[in-house]
Amino acid sequence: MSKKLKSRRSQITIFVIIAVVIVASIALVFTISNRSKDNISISPIKDPQGYIQECARKAVSEAESKVIPHGGFMDPGSNSILFNGTKVAWMCYTSELNKLCTNKHPLLNQEIEKEIVNYAKPKVADCFTTLGNDLSRYNYQQDLVLNFSVAITPNQIAIKINRPISFNKNGQILSLNNFNTLINSPIYTFVSLAIETSNQEVSCNCGRETCNADITLMNRDNLDFEISRFVSGRNEKVYTVIELLSGKTFNFGIRNCVRMP
C-alpha cells in the first residue's frame, strides 16, 4: 500500500510540475507576443513619458524608412518613375521634349513632414491607449486631443507631442503634457541635395547643351554622402543619394530637356 501511495504521489507531483511548466510557457508566449507588438523596452507604468517618447521615435523612424526610397512619399502614385521595382517621385518634370523641367515639389520638406505625421500619429495614439490601460488603476486621465507634429531640421527630425495626462501614484497626482523628442535623420540633407540637383539641371541652355547636375562636385562637397545618376533608355534620370554611415538611400526622378534617341 505504501509503495502504491508513494507512486500516486509521485505521479501527482509530475502532473503538477507539467501543469506549472505549461502555464509558465503560455505566460511567456503572451509576454513575448505583447513585446513584439510594440517592441518598446520602457515600462509605461515606471516611465510614462519615456514610453511615449520611445513609441514616437519608433513610429517616426518607421515612417522615415518608408518615404526616403520613394523621394519623400509613402506612395508617389502615377507621378513617378519605376526604378529597380520602386516608384520614385518626379522632383522636376516636363512632359515635352527639349524643354526645361518644372520643380514639382518646391515645399518638399513640408510634404515629407505631412507624410510622416499621417503615418506616425495613429501609432502614437495607440501607445497613449496602452498607457491609459496600464495606468487605469492609478486614476489615469488624459486630454481628448493629441497634438502631434514633426519638423525636419539639420541631421534630425524634431518630434513635438502635447497631450495633458494625469495619474495618482504614491498618494501624489502627477501631471505630464510635453513628450517632445528627437531622432537622427539625413532627410534635411537629402532634400537639400535634391533641390540643388534640380536647380543645376535647369541652369542650362536646353537647346544647345546636355543638362545634368555636376555630381562629381556635389560628391566632393558632401563627403558623408554619395550621389549617383541613372539614365533610362528614354533619357529620364533617377538620382540616388546615399548616407554612407547609415546606408539610407534617397531616390528622386528628373525628366528634363529630354532628347529621344
Query: What is the pLDDT tens value at each position of the chain, 261 positions in all?
Result: 455 444 555 555 555 455 444 544 444 444 433 443 456 789 888 999 999 999 999 999 999 999 999 999 999 999 999 999 999 999 999 999 999 999 999 999 999 999 999 999 999 999 999 999 999 999 999 999 999 999 999 999 999 999 999 999 878 898 999 999 999 999 999 999 999 999 999 999 987 788 999 999 999 999 999 999 999 988 899 999 999 999 999 999 999 999 866
Phi and psi torsions of 62, nearest 5°? -60, -45
Q: CA nearest 102: which of 238, 193, 201?
A: 201
Task: Note whether 251 and 192 are same-domain residues.
Answer: yes
Task: Note whether 91 and 34 are same-domain residues.
Answer: no
Q: Catalogue the E-assigned strands of 108-257.
A: 141-142, 147-153, 156-169, 172-178, 181-184, 225-231, 237-243, 249-255
Task: Note whether 194 and 240 are same-domain residues.
Answer: yes
CA pair distance 1, 11, nearest whole angstrom: 15
In a domain, 213, yes or no: yes
Handedness of CA 197, 201, 202, 203 (dihedral sign): positive
In a domain, 117, yes or no: no
In a domain, 115, yes or no: no
Task: Note whether 190 and 96 are same-domain residues.
Answer: yes
In a domain, 33, yes or no: yes
Task: Note whether 197 and 99 are same-domain residues.
Answer: yes
Structural domain including 12 reads: 1-38
CA pair distance 233, 151, nearest whole angstrom: 38
- Helix, strand, or coil (residue 167): strand
In a domain, 85, yes or no: yes
In a domain, 54, yes or no: no
Q: Tally the domains of the chain.
A: 2
